Homo-oligomer: A and B are copies of this chain.
Amino acid sequence: MAFSRYLIILALVTGCILPSGVQALWPIPTTLETGMTTLKISPTFYFDVQIEGPPSDLRDAVAQSQHYLENDKLGRLVVGRGSNDTSALATARTLSKLTLSLASGVAAEPISSEAVKPLGTRSEEYALIIPADGSAATLTANSTLGLYRGLTTFNQLFYYYGGVTYTLLAPISIKDTPAYPFRGLGLDTSRNYYPVCDILRTLDAMSWVKINTFHWHITDSQSFPLEVAQYPELSINGAYSPQEVYTASDVQYIVQYAAARGIDVMMEIDTPGHTAIIAATYPEYVACSDASPWADFANEPPAGQLRFALPEVMNFTASLLTNVAKALPSHYFSTGGDELNTNCYANDYLTEQQLNRTGMTLNGALDTFTQTTHGALIAQGKTPVVWEEMVLDWNITLSNETIVMIWISSADAAAVAGRGFRIIHAPSNYFYLDCGAGEWLGDDPTGNSWCDPFKTWSKAYTFDPLANLTEAQYELVLGGEQILWSEQSGPQNVDPIVWPRAAASAEIFWSGKQPTGAALNVTEALPRLHDVRYRMVQRGINAIPLQPQWCALRPDACDIYA
């Protein structure tokens, strides 16, 4: 058996790189040993689930894996797309089954239960062994969630040529576990609406690269597409149309669909800013509603923010958030807190009156508001998540458990960690998928994107989760996510603007480093990311080409210094 560990050492010694297509896994596993034997999938191949009373979502996952195995039909990304493999295939041994089992004594819970446990308590690791001699492959884990992760790896191992599904890499031995517990993708469904089917398709693609959190920025100033049973007028008046609503059953369907794919849905109802549309239902709760010029009162039109100083607004918001949050299985709920504009309250009579009456400052009132809404969430067993300004600009009193999302700049992570909060990296200078599409405001033909330039996959991939942190702060880093803000996006472009770019952070936070222990490296990664992209296309995702196909078939030939 010639394991690739040997090949890797050889590669390091000789300075050469591994043959194209040798490792097409994404994210790259923690440990990975591969050989050079061709092994093909038997026509009678099956998944042997050695688990008593397998949960239905595990059975569904196995059926999905079988479907991908039969239908991916991805040709290797080399010139000829595998036509040179025919002689090896003629004499290759066949693999007849993959046995799935849980560690002894582990009871099989549904994937969807495992997927929504608190961060740090989920078991995502798995071990996958594929012998070269055709004997059964084995996938073992401590949880159904781990088995699910292993199945996504298994599917990435196989190519197709001339009616045969095969790998050139047997024997294969993988032990894999994520570097960080939180690996997300953010989507804004307020600026423009995404039909449920587009969200489901996105969840599928997320699952393929082991992303485990869907950060759903569901509402904003522009529209309120979320149906809330206790406050039905919010979506009746706030959605773009009756067709552009996520009903309670839509949300439950999405949450369940996600969980069955190992994905927790962390919803965000951004407050107290980004709430102008609430004025369509509760005008008395919103200050500077549609005030003009909007740019004096908000970062985007329309202006309007919750009058957070008023007790009735605090109570309404706490009730709204808890009513939404308690219907969700996730332990996490984001209350937002970004881009609060104080001009909005400067001449707001009701706010001024309340502050005068109570002797509070605006900042103090925001503190009370946040404690009220967070207190209500915590009482429901939820962990609040906020944007960085709550800590860095407003110094709000937050529970130690609160998770803080970095967005303005990657440079802000250290300051938040310095305050002892756990952090999620979503820095605009690396991870914002919408940057670089030009100014979207009207009447500004020469304007650029505020976060210009476009963040390529490779720029995102150079992100260091631990930069500027002390070793003692490393444990505060839960992970990170790329986000699509939707001022200029919708179902029409969600696939190409997100994929395969969002796989960059998925690997940073799952793999952390290469199996050799070396740091992640864009040159090593690019051929594998092409592979991810081409496989996504085979599965119906409109993932964008990263390069001319000529380059995709010739690793490194299109490097800038090649």
- Interface of A with B (CB < 8 Å)? 81, 190-193, 221-223, 240-241, 244, 277, 292-295, 300-302, 436-449, 452-456, 458-459, 461-462, 486-493, 495-497, 522-523, 526, 537, 542-551, 553, 556-562
Contacts and interface: CB of A to CB of B under 8 A. Distances in A.
Contacts of A546: 440, 488
A458 B487 contact: no
A562 B292 contact: yes
A526 B492 contact: no
Contacts of A558: 300-301, 440-442
A81 B241 contact: yes
Interface centre among A81, A223, A445, A526, by most chain B C-beta atoms within 10 angstroms, is A445
Contacts of A550: 191, 221-223, 240, 277, 301-302
Contact of A458 (B277, B293, B444, B557): B444
Contact of A442 (B441, B490, B556): B556
Given A192-B548, A223-B548, A442-B556, 15 more contacts: A192-B545, A221-B550, A223-B549, A293-B562, A300-B558, A436-B437, A440-B547, A442-B551, A443-B559, A449-B453, A487-B545, A487-B548, A488-B544, A492-B545, A496-B497
Nearest to A548: B191
Given A436-B453, A454-B437, A488 B545 contact: yes
Given A294-B562, A301-B550, A443-B559, A436 B454 contact: yes
B441 A455 contact: no
Contact of A548 (B437, B448, B458, B486): B486
A476 to B, nearest CB: 26
A550 to B, nearest CB: 4
Chain A at the B interface: SS class: loop
Q: How many copies make up the complex?
A: 2
Nearest to A220: B548
A327 to B, nearest CB: 26
Contacts of A557: 294, 301-302
A315 B131 CA distance: 58
The 10 nearest A-B residue pairs measured at CB: A438-B456, A493-B496, A492-B542, A222-B550, A445-B458, A191-B548, A442-B559, A443-B559, A444-B560, A441-B560
Contacts of A438: 436, 453-456, 458-459
9 contacts: A222-B548, A240-B550, A439-B560, A442-B551, A442-B556, A452-B453, A487-B545, A487-B548, A489-B545
Contacts of A559: 441-444
A189 to B, nearest CB: 11
A437 B545 CA distance: 11
Contacts of A545: 192, 486-490, 492
A538 to B, nearest CB: 12
Contacts of A548: 190-192, 222-223, 300, 440, 486-487
A547 to B, nearest CB: 5
A443 to B, nearest CB: 4
A155 B214 CA distance: 41
Contacts of A553: 240
A540 B223 CA distance: 24
Contacts of A462: 445-446
Contacts of A562: 292-294, 301, 442-443
A443 B560 contact: yes
A223 B554 CA distance: 13
Contacts of A458: 438-439, 442, 444-445
A544 B241 contact: no
Given A293-B561, A550-B302, A522 B454 contact: no
A551 to B, nearest CB: 7
A218 B319 CA distance: 60
A428 to B, nearest CB: 15
A192 B548 CA distance: 5
A492 B452 CA distance: 23
A236 to B, nearest CB: 13
B493 A544 contact: yes
A497 to B, nearest CB: 8
B443 A240 contact: no
A462 B558 CA distance: 35
A488 B545 CA distance: 5
Contacts of A446: 459, 462
A519 to B, nearest CB: 13
Contacts of A489: 544-545
Contact of A445 (B222, B448, B456): B456
Interface centre among A488, A489, A492, A561, by most chain B C-beta atoms within 10 angstroms, is A492
Contacts of A542: 491-493
Nearest to A458: B445
A45 to B, nearest CB: 27
A443 B223 contact: no
A560 B492 contact: no
A193 B294 CA distance: 45
A315 B557 CA distance: 32
A445 B537 CA distance: 24
Nearest to A276: B550
Contacts of A437: 436, 454, 456
